[in-house]
Amino acid sequence: MRRTRLRTTPPLVGLAVATLLLAGCSGSMVDQKRYRTFEKAALWRDHSEARQLPDGTVAQSDRDRTAAIETPPPVDAALLARGQERYAIYCAPCHGLGGDGDGMIVQRGFPKPPSYHTKRLRAAPARHVFDVITNGYGVMYSYAARVPPRDRWAIVAYVRALQMSRNAQVADLPNAREKLP
Amino acid sequence: MQIFRKGADTTARVLLVLGALTPLAGVGFAYAFHRASYTTGDARTPRQPVPFSHAHHVGGLGLDCRYCHTSVEKSRFAGMPPTETCMTCHSQIWTNAAMLAPVRESLARDEPLRWTRVYDLPGYVYFDHSSHVNNGVGCTTCHGRIDRMPLTRQAAPLTMAWCIDCHRDPTKALRPKNAIFDLGWTPPKDQDEQGARLAVRYHIRLRHLTDCSTCHR
């Protein structure tokens, strides 16, 4: 009797272990039990995986963000290059690459925005351009969610460069006179 | 006395050969099935709530990828635009188009549009858009000529063999920084040299690109 039990026990244990291991195969590795970005989530009342901050929360980055809004970064070649790139992505579709307000979306029927090359907009403070990007203006939506504060300032600097490109005085460029033919 | 029919020898030989070939054919079929677009989803075009056309918005109007996919340079996820992004233009143009009714309803009800994921990677793959886009891999390398797609299509098999093919030798795909979002980019004649130079400039650790933990963690 005892001998029989000894002989059958190892296979039984092996079978039990194999069964336990097989149980692990039921969950698919392809569809894992976690939410993926923007997946529908039954767990929350709004069915959104992307959670919003609870009311009254102060995010760790809030101070830096406020500082970036209040203090424009120093203008250098790198900031202008960044501004040119961001301008081409977010602004040029309507305002046009030159800032004339003749972008492709305007050519397809969107109300024409004013050109940057007017007396009024040349005189407008840099903060005005920043605020328009942040809050929108007229039929223009806010770009605050798409363009972070530092990039907004970079775009402002580039818009200033565009304006200057058509309204520069020779006197503003002391060495330019020598280079003119 | 004759026990077997006259053709029995031939039948036996044919059966023996077939018996040897069947497992081989089975392996061949399994291999082909595993790689077929039916299994990988290559060229799959899922139905969407709005028949959004990249060919129109990108190819026709010239919008930059980042106009809508705003987090592609700083996050794992490229970013799906909120309805507000659609309405930036469509609050003024094509305002009555029946095709865009779900977009307007989404804005009115404050409910997101439920797009169907086209590039659906398995849960054990940790792909990161930002680390590709910031290190020389352009959009079309994986997404194909998206600017020519009237409906968004999966343009790659997304098998591990396909990923690894580039991870073993990324120099053939590396682009300079200003060409990442250029949908018409084609490798120059000296891509071998340029790619090698770019790999150095982007500080790509070529030997570690095929580590398991690069993609699985």
What was the ipTM of the complex prediction? 0.87
Give the span between the Cα atoms of B95 and A6, in whole angstroms.
81
**Chain B residue with Cα closest to A36:** B123
**pLDDT value at B53 more than 80:** yes
Q: What is the pLDDT of residues B138-174, one digit of tens each?
A: 999 999 999 999 999 999 999 999 999 999 999 999 9
Q: Is B67 exposed, middle or buried (0-12, 13-18, 19+ CB in 10 A)?
A: buried
- Residue of B53, B69, B89 to mutate, interface with A, max A Cβ within 10 Å: B89
Averaged pLDDT score across all residues of chain B:
94
Burial of B66 (0-12, 13-18, 19+ CB in 10 A): buried
Give the pair of three-digit tokens for residue B74: 């700083």
- Whether residue B80 is predicted with pLDDT greater than 80 in this model: the reply is yes
Which of B59, B65, B95 shows the shortest CA–CA distance to B80? Answer: B65
Q: What is the pLDDT of residue A1?
A: 46
Residues of chain A with C-beta less than 8 angstroms from the C-beta of B61: 93, 104-105, 108
What is the C-alpha separation between B133 and B135, in angstroms, rounded?
6
> Residue A88: which of B64, B92, B114 has the nearest Cβ?
B64
The token duo for A126 is 């840099």
**Confidence at A46, pLDDT banded by 50, 70, 90:** confident
CB A163 within 8 A of CB A121: yes
CATH class of A75-168: mainly alpha
Q: What is the pLDDT of residues B185-209, one digit of tens each?
A: 999 999 999 999 999 999 999 999 9
pLDDT at position A16 over 90: no
Mean pLDDT over all residues of chain A?
Answer: 88
Query: Using CB atoms, which residue from B85, B87, B92 is nearest to A110?
Result: B92
C-alpha torsion B44→B50→B54→B56, nearest 10 = 130
Other CB atoms within a 10 A radius of the CB of residue B137 amount to 20
CA distance B2 to chain A (A): 52
Q: What is the DSSP letter of B148?
A: G
Q: How many CB pairs under 8 A join A and B?
A: 54
Q: What is the mean pLDDT of residues A90-103?
A: 97
Contact between A110 and B63 (Cβ < 8 Å): no
Residue B12 has pLDDT above 50, yes or no: yes
The residue ranges of every structural domain in chain B are: 8-35, 70-79+119-215
Radius of gyration of chain A (CA): 31
Chain B residue numbers touching A32 (CB-CB < 8 A): 123-124
Which of A36, A38, A89 is the closest to B67 by Cβ?
A89
What pLDDT score was predicted for residue B199? 96
Partners of residue A137 on adjacent β-strands: A140
